Structure 1
Amino acid sequence: MKAMVGDRIIVQSRHLDEPQRDGEIIEVHGPDGAPPYVVRWSEDGHTALLFPGPDAQISGHTPEKVIHHRGKAWHANVVLTEEDGHTVAEASLNTGSHVLHGRGEAQRNPADQDVPEIGDELAAARALVELSKRLVETTAADISAIEGQPIHLTG
């Protein structure tokens, strides 16, 4: 079995009443694409080291829309740009019915050591907090539309 980062792996159920599992390969530890793989499972987002058996299949890179027997997969994306100690993160989340955005920034103090990863982490965290707030606001608006009255959610 050979795979690349970004490929999907599908593991067939061993029992009739269990759904198949699928996930994205996020790390390949074997030589030339061989197992083991670190997989992010679609149903819950957890990651695990996988030594696939004969019930597993690799299916190329992640398609735009993944069809699941159970559950859904929402994909968030964070794009980072950095210039002269100033980092900007743009986060987006596509829920299928909404595309939400968040922005975060980080500025390095000129007296501090230049460690770009720290700016990336802080800007991304701020963008994801903003994205989370927008998701809560969207949820409140959706509930308000159903209930016919203003709804306030905290989150």
Structure 2
Amino acid sequence: MRAAVGDRIVTASGVVGGAVRDGVVTECPHGDGSPPYRVKWSDTGEETLVFPGSDTFVDPDTPMGSDEPRAARQGRALTWDVRITVVESGGSTTAEATVMNGPPESLRGVGHARKSPGDPEVPLIGDEIAAARALRKLADRLLAVAESDVSEAVGHRAHLHK
């Protein structure tokens, strides 16, 4: 990994559900651009010394093939949380997957699973199937919303490949 002063650096969280952090490289002690780097984080304004791992990437000052400087591009990092609620009753399981802090309108998907009467009682399997179906429906709903937003932005009907 190589970086230069002014490059954007993005690091994924080390914990499940943690936020993605981004910042600007303010100092590169090594002339060849190798780590570590001093980074000013956009979420706190704090400067820290960073020894990047595999969960980190550098967004260079000017992207390859572009004349647009970094300052002219808008960078951002955000986290959307999805809550999955599972209810099981009498061999039937229902799961609801809801985006909790994402787009302004409520996005949700519901999935169902039902065990065959001859199958053994293993609630976890029903939970997994219902949750997977709910997430699939949530993904389809999010793509439909995005397709509508693209259509509105370009002024004609758009189609997203799924």
Q: Same fold (TM over 0.5)?
A: yes
Task: Choose from 107, 124, 127 the match for 1:120.
Answer: 127
Task: Choose from 15, 30, 35 the match for 1:39.
Answer: 15
Uncovered stretches (5+) of structure 2, i.e. residues with no partner:
22-41, 45-75
Q: Among the aligned pairs, what percent are the same residue?
A: 35
SS in 1 for 2:15: strand
Query: Aligned Cα RMSD in Å?
Result: 2.7
Relative to the length of structure 1, the TM-score reads 0.59
Q: Whose strand fraction is larger, Structure 1's or Structure 2's? A: 1
Task: Choose from 72, 77, 86 the match for 1:80.
Answer: 86
Moved more, 68-77 or 124-133: 68-77
Q: Does 1:99 align with 2:106?
A: yes
Bigger radius of gyration: 2
Cα separation, 2, equivalents of 1:19 and 1:101: 32
Cα separation, 2, equivalents of 1:105 and 1:75: 21
Matches within 5 A, 1:1-155: 23=13, 39-40=15-16, 41-43=18-20, 68=43, 70-93=76-99, 94-155=101-162
- Per-residue CA deviations over 1:101-139 (Å, capped at 9, x if unaligned) read 100000011100100000000000000000000000000
Q: How many residues align?
A: 105
- Per-residue CA deviations over 1:42-99 (Å, capped at 9, x if unaligned) read 229xxxxxxxxxxxxxxxxxxxxxx947400001011000000100001111414232
